[in-house]
């Protein structure tokens, strides 16, 4: 088992001073699922407000699934945890849509600029490594159009060959890009486009981010994941996902006749983890016991991949200040 990074003590006053001097332009609080990052971010924001003598801290979410309306229990939004602290980039996309990294960077930049111009202190918080790097590493991402001809060519190839091709075009820090064939082909479409269209640094993204990572042992993290999964099932996660499928979820967009657009099972499978395994249970592929067991294992593996991504960021020269948050 890999050793955990050494925890540090974070001086919020020094960070605020650095921000006010222009030496730091964003605080990013990252960590794997169930590591306490949201709770830490809220506590940090409250400390910044206390030191400032006024409400200046605002949180920007870096979660690739909490952007979707009506997908609350499965994504663990826990909006009550934020209290009086404003939070952005949650509930901004319709369930069933395919919100992407380009849209996230565009939306992040807009919110980040607005907070800065109002004299606020932006705090990025989340566990989606790709979204975090899109926001903090300063490179513009192209709005990649669909390429039916390329997709048709890729569809002819075996999945293993497609994964090897993707690996030759970009680093594979985790399996998110290829956990479904549809996602794999889209990832290749984006990677090939990016290679043919070099990107430039954007004008209004943070250039000096202070990264804080929430640290928890694998044993504690897995225990928290299991307890949280049990709580979400009791809270009605299966019913919530079923309501997306049968068109009864109030957050679903309406068609021109005012009828809710149900989310196809294929799209829920695309979202992965809770949405993938619960959908398979609703379809009768998995029993409740099988679903719970397999989903817990998948979330454990996902958390491990998140840590691998963050350690990869460190290997690329990004300094992460790790703290005990569990």
Q: What is the pLDDT along the chain (326 residues), one digit of tens a residue?
A: 456 788 999 999 999 999 999 999 999 999 999 999 999 999 999 999 999 999 999 999 999 999 999 999 999 999 999 999 999 999 999 999 999 988 999 999 999 999 999 999 999 999 999 999 999 987 666 667 888 999 999 999 999 999 999 888 876 644 555 567 887 898 888 888 877 876 555 567 899 999 999 999 999 999 999 999 999 999 999 999 999 999 999 999 999 999 999 999 999 999 999 999 999 999 999 999 999 999 999 999 999 999 999 999 998 889 999 999 86
| Domain match, 19 and 126 both | yes
Task: Classify residue 6: in a domain, yes or no.
Answer: no
* Six token digits for residue 63: 């979660």
* Six token digits for residue 325: 């948050």
d(CA 245, CA 254): 14
d(CA 322, CA 40): 12
Q: What is the C-alpha R_g of the chain?
A: 20
Task: Classify residue 183: in a domain, yes or no.
Answer: yes
Report the CATH number that the domain containing residue 318 is assigned in CATH.
Answer: 3.40.50.300
Report the candidate in 23, 11, 43 with the shortest Cα–Cα distance to residue 123: 43
Residue 1's pLDDT is what? 47
| Domain match, 212 and 82 both | yes
Task: Classify residue 254: in a domain, yes or no.
Answer: yes
| Domain match, 278 and 320 both | no
d(CA 295, CA 252): 25
| Domain match, 110 and 209 both | yes
Q: Find residue 211's DSSP bridge partners.
A: 28, 320
Residues 295 and 274 sit within 8 Å (Cβ to Cβ)? yes
Task: Classify residue 3: in a domain, yes or no.
Answer: no
The residues, any chain, with a CB within 8 Å of residue 102's CB and separated by 6 or more, are 141, 142, 143, 144
| Domain match, 134 and 280 both | no
| Domain match, 79 and 210 both | yes
* Six token digits for residue 42: 């809220």
d(CA 274, CA 271): 8
Give the domain range for residue 271.
Answer: 219-302
pTM score of the predicted model = 0.83
| Domain match, 135 and 223 both | no
Report the candidate in 174, 178, 145, 149 with the shortest Cα–Cα distance to residue 161: 178
Residue whose pair of structure tokens reads 């964003």 in the numeric block: 26
Structural domain tally of the chain? 3
| Domain match, 163 and 310 both | no
Task: Classify residue 266: in a domain, yes or no.
Answer: yes
| Domain match, 181 and 277 both | no
| Domain match, 31 and 88 both | yes
Task: Kindly list the distances between the CA atom of residue 127 and the CA atoms of 94, 220, 262, 290, 291, in Å, as whole numbers in the listed order.
Answer: 21, 17, 28, 26, 24
Residues 34 and 303 sit within 8 Å (Cβ to Cβ)? yes
| Domain match, 188 and 249 both | no
Report the CATH number that the domain containing residue 288 is assigned in CATH.
Answer: 1.10.287
Residues 164 and 72 sit within 8 Å (Cβ to Cβ)? no
Residue 179's pLDDT is what? 60
| Domain match, 179 and 251 both | no
């Amino acid at each position: 088992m890999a050793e955990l990074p050494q925890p540090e003590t974070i001086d919020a006053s020094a960070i605020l001073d650095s921000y006010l001097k222009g030496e730091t332009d964003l605080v990013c609080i990252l960590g794997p699922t169930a590591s306490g990052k949201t709770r830490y971010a809220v506590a940090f924001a409250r400390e910044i407000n206390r030191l400032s003598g006024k409400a200046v801290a605002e949180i920007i979410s870096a979660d690739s699934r909490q952007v979707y309306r009506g997908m609350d229990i499965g994504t663990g939004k826990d909006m009550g945890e934020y209290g009086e602290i404003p939070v952005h980039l949650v509930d901004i996309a319709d369930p069933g849509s395919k919100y992407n990294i380009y849209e996230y960077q565009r939306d992040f930049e807009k919110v980040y600029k607005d907070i800065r111009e109002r004299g606020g202190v932006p705090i990025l918080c989340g566990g989606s490594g790709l979204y975090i790097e899109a926001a903090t590493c300063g490179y513009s991402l192209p709005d990649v159009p669909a390429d039916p001809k390329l997709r048709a060519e890729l569809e002819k190839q075996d999945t293993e060959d497609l994964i090897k091709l993707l690996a030759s075009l970009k680093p594979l820090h985790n399996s998110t890009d290829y956990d479904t064939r549809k996602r794999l082909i889209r990832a290749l479409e984006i990677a090939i486009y990016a290679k043919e269209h070099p990107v430039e640094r954007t004008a209004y993204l943070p250039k000096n981010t202070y990264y804080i990572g929430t640290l928890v042992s694998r044993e504690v993290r897995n225990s928290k994941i299991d307890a949280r999964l049990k709580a979400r099932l009791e809270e009605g996660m299966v019913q919530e996902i079923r309501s997306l499928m049968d068109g009864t979820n109030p957050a679903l967009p309406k068609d021109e006749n005012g009828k809710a657009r149900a989310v196809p099972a294929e799209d829920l499978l695309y979202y992965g983890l809770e949405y993938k395994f619960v959908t398979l249970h609703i379809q009768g592929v998995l029993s409740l016991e099988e679903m719970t067991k397999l989903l817990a294992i998948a979330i454990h593996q996902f958390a491990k991949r998140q840590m691998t991504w963050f350690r990869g960021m460190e290997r690329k020269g990004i300094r992460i200040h790790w703290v005990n948050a569990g």
